[in-house]
Amino acid sequence: MERTSRLNTLDNSTQGWINGFIGVVIFSGSLPATRLAVMQFDPVFLTMIRATLAAALGLCLLWLFKEKRPARTQWAPLAIVALGVVIGFPLLTALALQYVTSAHSIVFIGLLPLATAVFGVLRGGEQPRPVFWLFSSLGSLLVMGYAVAQGLSAAPAGDVLMLLAVLVCGLGYAEGAKLSRSLGGWQVICWALVVSLPVVAPLSLILAPATLTGISLPAWLSLGYVSLFSMLIGFVFWYRGLAQGGIAAVGQLQLLQPFFGLALAAGLLHEQVSLGMLLVTVAVIGCVVGAKRFSR
């Protein structure tokens, strides 16, 4: 009986890491796609319209599966999720990408695991082992050390905006993962999008450009990607993974996101990916392995 329980726990944890990995792969295209989109769309409009489109799809899913409305106590956490991942992170990163390249911004994503783990302890009640914090902190320090070596003063506004984005996103991830345990992974992001709809839909209309002529196909495709994949589908896997495998533990997979993101930035945007970026990415992968081993 005890062995069966351990096997079930192991299987659940493994599924969590698989779902989390799929979510990270999907999220890896977010910053390069946002970078393409903000070249032709206002960043605030982009944030509002992507949330509006995703919310419309979320409403359809909730209606199709006849989901019950969240309990009264779940609305406040849903509002935190909406502020963190529906509005806060997309808006702050879109603004940051006016000052820095997507390759540069992606490096800051290496701080997300530490932020997510901290909020996982504060909001989710998790208690990773002390060695876990060593690996998580080391991975974050490697990322920040690289950023400092590249010169934060070159674009201080972009760097500050990315740091703020990481903080609000970590809170949104932890809050959403905690809520997923009772509400369900895809339901959390759909209801969070619904919560944001009264704000983002009117602003989308107010901030809409006077004309859409001249918008290139890559910009439209980027808008579609961040609306469908970054804002909805990615979270279906991500929140499920965090709930199954643990917020702090599975959150460390975000250290792999720069690796995938840098590859996309180089392949799609032809941005320069330096040897230093690759070395930092390889180093933080090692930190993911160590953090996973000592996460429980």
Return the pLDDT at 1: 46
| Strand, helix or coil for residue 224 | helix
Query: What six digits make up the tokens of 18?
Result: 């698989």
**Max alpha carbon distance in the chain (Å)?**
66
pTM: 0.85
d(CA 228, CA 269): 20
Q: Residue 9, exposed/middle/buried by CB under 10 A (0-12, 13-18, 19+)?
A: exposed
Collect the ranges in the chain with pLDDT lower than 50: 1-7, 152-153
Closest by alpha carbon to 249, among 291, 284, 290, 287? 291
Q: What is the pLDDT of residues 189-199, one digit of tens each?
A: 999 999 999 99
Neighbours of 228 (CB within 10 A): 16
d(CA 56, CA 244): 27
Return the pLDDT at 231: 96
Q: What is the pLDDT of residues 197-251, one digit of tens each?
A: 999 999 999 999 988 888 999 999 999 999 999 999 999 999 999 988 888 888 8
Return the pLDDT at 273: 66
Angle at Cα 74 formed by Cα 69 and Cα 79, nearest 5°?
Answer: 100
Closest by alpha carbon to 201, among 80, 53, 61? 53
Query: In sequence order, what are the residues at sequence separation of 6 or more whose Cβ sits closer than 8 angstroms to the Cβ of residue 205?
Result: none
Closest by alpha carbon to 110, among 291, 237, 233, 267? 291
State the amino acid at position 284 in one-letter form. Answer: V
Return the pLDDT at 72: 94
